[in-house]
Amino acid sequence: MLRSMGKESYLLSHDVVARLVAEGVIDGPPNSKRAQAAVQAAFTRRRADSGQSLTTISRVLAQSIG
């Protein structure tokens, strides 16, 4: 919904979650507040390091699983 309104946001697809699990950011689906905070921190770090949008970071993470 946020993306459709023009607000930049990340997308937690199955592949993005799988990549974050593989990297040890979270242990499984981000259902808890702690896991959601870890996901947010991971995206914030990547955005600061790369200068890329959250959408782009989501796509790269999704494509890097395999």
Question: Residue ranges of the domains in the chain?
Answer: 14-63
Encoded tokens for 54: 């959250």
- Cα angle 55, 15, 29; round to 5: 100
Q: Mind listing the pLDDT tens digit for each residue in 15-62? A: 999 999 999 999 999 999 999 999 999 999 999 999 999 999 999 999
Residue pair 3/9 in contact (Cβ under 8 Å)? The answer is yes
Q: Is 41 exposed, middle or buried (0-12, 13-18, 19+ CB in 10 A)?
A: exposed
> pTM for this structure?
0.85
